[in-house]
Structure 1
Amino acid sequence: MVSYASLGKTLVFLDVETTGLDTKQCDIIQLAAISGDRTFNVYMMPQVAIDEGAMEVNGFSVSDGALLLCGRAMPTVTLPEALTSFLGFLWSLEQPVLLAAHNARHFAKPVLDRALLRCSLNWQFQQLGSRFLDTLPLSRALHPGLDSHSLVNLLGYFLRRHYNAHDGFEDARALQDLYNCWNPRQEIVDNFLY
């Protein structure tokens, strides 16, 4: 497990793939998280249509009642099942946990909050007492001279690695690897917690 020892928290890197970019309307298609060698990854059948732009970026589509990723059918669970399993995953880790996501504040957190509320699981999530770390502004603060702070560019720049971007699990793993490479000081990280 990745520990943020100075705060006494376990770091959990997460990513969501969705039907679009509108946080008030999009559905979660994939929810993935990683903490050290502990992993979580589920797919859900969306209740709203996948935007054309989202399809081009993440490769998800729906056909004949199946969720497809680059044309391959993926096993799905319902949103309540996915979120209940995710909460179980978080509770299985050393408490408390700190959830880290790239663009957490403006995308991952609002999407996850809305889904938890929709499934009446927001209270259970709040019991974790988890805070979020947004690694996008953290990256900008740590490395202001970079032209792009996308995960793809950051992973290529710092780790000389390319990966299957916009796959939720691969994005979460890339973020964990980047964070470990950066090893930022607590006083900097504290500016991006909420």
Structure 2
Amino acid sequence: MARQGTIVFFDLETTGLGTTSCHIVQLGASCKNTIFNRYILPGIPIGDKATKVNGLTVSYGQLFLHGEPVSTEPLYHSLKSFIHYLGRFPGPVLLAAHNAWRFDQIVLMRVLWKFFLFEQFQQVVSGFVDTLPLSKKLNPQLDCFKQPCLGRYFLGGKYNAHNAVQKAKQLEELFCNRWNPDNYDIEEFTDWI
């Protein structure tokens, strides 16, 4: 990965699918067995559909995962910690997510701007790789490109499809151990910032 330095795989769990209004409830990332995981108490209710998918609920100011309380950190501190985590890798860093351009990148950038953290973020991150269109180019024989389908096809195993850390780890394994795209493919599906 000559030009970009390091690729870090990340994922978000949110209160819903509205990119302009959802709140982040989990921010997870993986790079070479170095994990980042933060749960965030949202400022708005978690939608019923989101709860069915990710198992996260809020009751009396506490976040629960499948009925068990989880420790949370304010979003601002989670973002600062994430920037610090990313800064530990040889840079500049590329962030990779499945469907990044239509969801994860948009939501993450919105909250970075909201908390005036974009400039700090930009010092360590050079862009976003969207592995959804990349997977379509590399595997045109497939008919399903959702991450769970790709995981079953290439890895054969089941994983927690709605846990940000598990999704980031699985995406890293798909990318690095199964697809192994070259720099030209990576650049084609990178949105530079």
Query: TM-score, normalization: structure 1?
Result: 0.94
Question: Which runs of 4 or more aligned residues in structure 1 lie more than 2 Å from their structure 2 counterparts after TM superposition?
Answer: none
Question: What is the aligned counterpart of 2:184 among 159, 162, 187?
Answer: 187
- Residue in structure 2 matched with residue 119 of structure 1 by the alignment: 115
- Residue in structure 2 matched with residue 35 of structure 1 by the alignment: 31
| CA apart distance, 1:69 | 0.9
Matched, 1:66 2:54: no
Report the residue type matching 2:183 in the other structure.
Answer: Q
| CA apart distance, 1:125 | 0.9
- For residues 46 and 114 of structure 2, what CA distance do their matches in structure 1 show? 19
- Residue in structure 1 matched with residue 6 of structure 2 by the alignment: 10
- Residue in structure 1 matched with residue 77 of structure 2 by the alignment: 81
Q: Secondary structure at the match of 2:167?
A: helix
Following superposition of structure 1 onto structure 2, how do residues 20-169 of structure 1 map, counting pairs within 5 Å?
20-169=16-165
Say whether the 8 Å CA contact 1:67–1:76 is kept in structure 2: yes
Q: Secondary structure at the match of 1:138?
A: helix
Query: TM-score, normalization: structure 2?
Result: 0.95
- For residues 93 and 139 of structure 1, what CA distance do their matches in structure 2 show? 25
Q: 1:193 to 1:8 in 2, by over 3 A?
A: closer
Report the residue type matching 1:188 in the other structure.
Answer: D
| CA apart distance, 1:42 | 0.3
Aligned-CA RMSD value: 1.1
- For residues 36 and 128 of structure 2, what CA distance do their matches in structure 1 show? 17
| CA apart distance, 1:8 | 4.5
| CA apart distance, 1:145 | 2.5
Q: Deviations over 1:26-59 (max 9, x none)?
A: 0000001111011110000000111111111111
Q: Deviations over 1:41-95 (max 9, x none)?
A: 0000000111111111111111121111111111000001100000000111111
Aligned pair count reads 190
Report the residue type matching 1:11 in the other structure.
Answer: I
Q: Secondary structure at the match of 1:15?
A: strand
Report the residue type matching 1:179 in the other structure.
Answer: F
Report the residue type matching 2:182 in the other structure.
Answer: R
Report the residue type matching 2:43 in the other structure.
Answer: Q
Identity %: 43
Say whether the 8 Å CA contact 1:79–1:119 is kept in structure 2: no
Q: Secondary structure at the match of 2:124?
A: coil
| CA apart distance, 1:128 | 2.0
| CA apart distance, 1:129 | 4.2
- For residues 155 and 88 of structure 1, what CA distance do their matches in structure 2 show? 29
